[in-house]
Structure 1
Amino acid sequence: MDVSALSEATFSPADWINANYKKYIEENGSKDGDATSFIQSYVAKLQLYVQQVNYAVEESSRQVVSSMPRIAKESTTLHSDVSQLQEKMSAMRQEVAAVQNETGECMATLERLNTLQTKLQAAKESLQESDGWGNLLAELEDGFERNDLKGVCEKLIALQKSLHAQEQLPGHAERLTQVEDFKNRLEALASPSVVQCFAESNLEQAQHYVQIFASIQRLPQLQQYYRAVQKNLWQQQWKQTLELQGTETQPQQQQQFLTLYYDQLLEHCQRQVKWCSNLFSEESTQPFLVIAELLPALQPTRDAHILQLLKTSNERLELLGLFSQVNHSFVLHLNSLLEQSHITLSDELHRQLGEAVFEYFHKFIQQYPRLEETQLSTQVDRLLSNQSTPSDAVRHLEESTRKLYEWLKEACERCSAITSDLALCKLITLLNGIFKRQLENFGRIQRQLGLSLGSSSYAAQSENWSLLQYTMSQLQCLADFQVQLHQFEHDLHARMATLAAKLTKQSSRGNITIFQTCDHAARTQLLNAIADYQQKKAEATESLGIFPQIYAALKLQFSETHDITLNILLQPIETHLAHIRPAAETHPSTGIDMPSFSFAPQESITQIGQYLLTLPQHLEPLLLAPSALLKQALEVCNVKYTQAIPCADVLLSLVVEQCCILYQAQILQIKTLPASAAKQLSVDIEYLSNVLEELGLSINLQLSQILTLLKAAPDQYLTLSSGCEPRLVTAIRQMRNIISTQ
């Protein structure tokens, strides 16, 4: 029996009994009375176990009771020892306090004496150095008279040490001034030789001067001499380059001055990086500091010379693109040189170097939009040439749209090449004007089509069909313009997103770029403009938020061109409707009511019917399988074109709809309508209804109600007019001279 389970925290009597019972069955086999024998056996064992536990508890209690007097006695002894220890510690604390009182004054006196000893020792050394100060000054003066650079340097080092030793003596400021004066004289004495060795790139001699200047703590001044020599050398090289290019006769060769100069400067910089690393140890950034200080100080300035070339050039944008490419190529090679040399520039030098290369070019970036606008305007002017005939004008539209977007893409490429897209938002602003001019061209051709519709030269119906084809072509051109405009907007958004990422990227420890040279105000303004365009894109429904006004004007032109298309198709109908007049009373005296079958449709209405029946054969060649662009244009004009039916059927239904409206308006202009005329008119309407049924269409509701009112007998007019429009009921009643019974 396992009794260890009884002491577990999760002990369960039922589980324990069941487990033991199962174990008992497995050991003894299955027999009758197993449960009874198991219980008797385990109860006996448990009783025995309880007796043992009781015995152990009684034994432990007896031992505890017997040991209690001894524990109490030991506790009393321990308490007494603690009291004695506390008394000894208190006495010791008093003794320590007495010793501190006795020795405190002695320690303070010792410290004061030690301080005085240190001061006396320093004063002694200072006096000793002061005695030798005069000798050093005399030796220095003698060395300067003999131009003994090495001896002067040694004595000056000794003078510096002596100055440091005499720091405690009065007159230290005067002695410091003397030392600085001697350093200045030494620097002036060495400067001609320093300049010469730097000009000749004499490494051994230069290292000697590095040791001298480092010993007198004037190494920065030596580096300044190095930069001054290099800048003077490259200033002369700049003038020679300009003079050489000035002798060239070809403009392309004259424009290579900056490329030539940068190439020479890069080659020299690469050599100087290695030379300076040997000369100044780890300080190998001096050649880059030379470039940072040299380029902004060039005379004449780079921008002044470029301006002179621009004044004599007819390809100003291409010329600016060339110089921009030269700048970026120069920086690309600088970044490569820094990476290969494992040189990390300081944040300040990194910024200065970028500004030295790109700062002068920002004024041309500011001028770029004006130059670009001039070029685009000149190109667009060539597209706006007047065409004598509508066919020539419409054919010219397709070509002009293609050329326009080619020029706009070229303009964007120039913007990227010249300004790295920093002038992209300004370019977008001027593009609005360019698009408006193109839309004005669309509008002018549209008006030309409208005027041609009413001119005598287009009176022939065959020529009207040609005019219809021109309007369809113009709708397709408008759709082509819209599709390319949408793609153009998408490309502009992608460019702006890329530009924003470059402007916000922290590149102070990365490559030198033109974006780090933008001042804070210009950067903020550009990022705000990009964010504004992105917000408009999120809010826009039809456009992408860059040219919303152009989209609105374009939509209006879609609608107006479609209206011209309908007017072309409705012109014959309007002509025939104008000849419809109420027929005179055939037998005014007899008052005979003629049956309807005795009336034939009037010639004008039959001509309209014949015309409508011929429309499908003229529309289907144009619209049976319209191009994707034409289908898109028609959907913009009217939502019915989005239905899953042929566009020709939609246009025919629109013509029929307008025909019914025109016919209804023509009927309502009639002042009086005799009975025979009413029957004639009803026969005409029924004829038109039958024609439309053959086309799969029907007359509109108003015309159907007019037919009902015309056929109604006077005595049944009120009953049959129920459900018709009150306006029509009243108008027809007055025409027929039916007296109202209400």
Structure 2
Amino acid sequence: MDFSKFLDDNFDVKDWVNGAFKTVQKEAPGKVDSHAATLVMKLQLFIQEVNNAIEETSHQALLNMPRALRDVEALKQEASFLKEQMILVKEDIRKFEQDTAQSMQVLVEIDEVKSRMQAAAEALQEADKWSTLSADIEETLKSQDIEIISAKLTSMQNSLAMLVDTPDYSEKCVHLEALKNRLEAMASPQIVSAFNSQSVDQARLFVKVFVQVDRMPQLLTYYYKCHKGQLVSAWQELCQSDLSLDHQLTEFYDTLLATWHSQLQWTSQLKEQHLVNLASEQIQITSPINHRLHQRPGVRVTLVRDVAARGSVCAKASGHRGILSTAGKYLSESYSPRSLTGIQETSFSDKKTSIKNPWQEHNYLLKGNLSEYASLMEMLYTLKEKGTGNSNLLSEPRVALTRLNQQAHQLAFDSVFLRIKQQLSQVARLETWNTGTMGETLTEDLPTFSLAPLEYISNIGQYIMSLPLHLEPFLTQEDPALELALHSGKLPYPPEQGDELPELDNMADYWLGSIARATMHTYCESILQIPELTPHATKQLATDIDYLSNVMDALGLQPSRSLQQIVTLLKAKPEEFRQAAKSVPRRLTSVITSMRNIHY
């Protein structure tokens, strides 16, 4: 019998009874009474079991009630005890806050002192790190590993940021910049090779290195100059052709546009926004040319007008400098005790004005001895009218000072040039020129961008790149005597005839140009003393000259004509040598022919 229906909430006695007798009435209608007796007996037994279970459960509940009451009482007591303890703890905390407020302030101050001591310790560690890196950097430079050197320079740069307040901070900055210049000079051949060969991996390396050492503008300059040389060569070839001017400009514009597209695609692979921007700027240059090429009659006029407009902007920008220069000249001539006109009497027109010459306020000679004053005025008048060129006034001191100044210039020049001269004195005796290398016959027709400059020319390039930093402190200080001495002295190896002379306005450029021309002249003389050159040595020497030319170009200087002519003869193939030698002096041609064993 299923007793689970008695547990239903909607239990109905009539339905249950009818359901129980429904099956019996169908199967055995005569056994209904016996079936009813069986059901009654089962229900009675089930009721008895339920009563027993209820009685047993009630008995257990009665037995457990005292224990539950005791547990509740104990829990109540523990809750009361916990409440009292919490009150005591709260009171202790309040009392602790009152008693330890001053102590906490002391702890805060101690923590600040600790932080400052930690910062001081880090600064001392950085200072010690600078000393260690400075001692190791020379050995690192000898390794020629660009990545390791840039990492060392980056560490030195970070250390230098912690040493801003030290007395020798400026000297350390100059030293670090000199090291960066040496790194740049060391990497310049590889940079030019990477840009010329469009090597993505090498370019990424140099971008990473130059970003770390804060020299990204210099890398962009190398990138610009590499493509500038290629475009200039393309333009020169077009100028030598028989095409008309508008066709030449059209072809050159197509070359520019093709270069821009290729460089934009190449720089996008580097994921370096600086180079991408530089390549994008090329289209801003080519767009105006494209517009002008459709105006054939006015091509030249439009280009000239643009150049003139840019020139006027430069003139306006330099206007303030001209005003200051004029004012300084007026003050110097009017109020300088070294000016002869400063102590002369003013003219009648000057007396009408309220401006007085301070050198005439206290003329003791005029008040004390009129004859000597008249003699002085006569001599000053003669000097003013006839000039000081033929005057014997202080002639011997002037000659002596001029000679001493010239000797000082020559001594300073010889001291600066000594290191370069020592390196160049070894060029003619190098074994590289007449010693064949293994596999030379296999590499004779291969391109030369894989060749690296030799150590002697790398040392010279690094030394010349560091010269501007050494010259700048002597020119930035305001010292009229030094400025006058620099302008009065003459340096050897002046600019060649026909060269532009912007360096005369800047004494640093003047000195740098003189040293550069001395280097190129001595280098040419040393090259002409080489007895013999193998084919591989010829390419190596041309690579060394190209490296020196790149250094000069980076400093804004032009290679000498002799150096350009020598590298032209070195790069010329034997069958093309006669054509290349037509525009070269006979002396250079004969010497290079003898060195290379060429018969033409």
Q: Same fold (TM over 0.5)?
A: no
TM-score range, shorter chain: 0.3 to 0.5
Q: Which has the higher contact order (CA 8 A, sep 6+)?
A: 2
**Larger C-alpha radius of gyration, 1 or 2?**
1
TM-score normalized with structure 1 length: 0.29
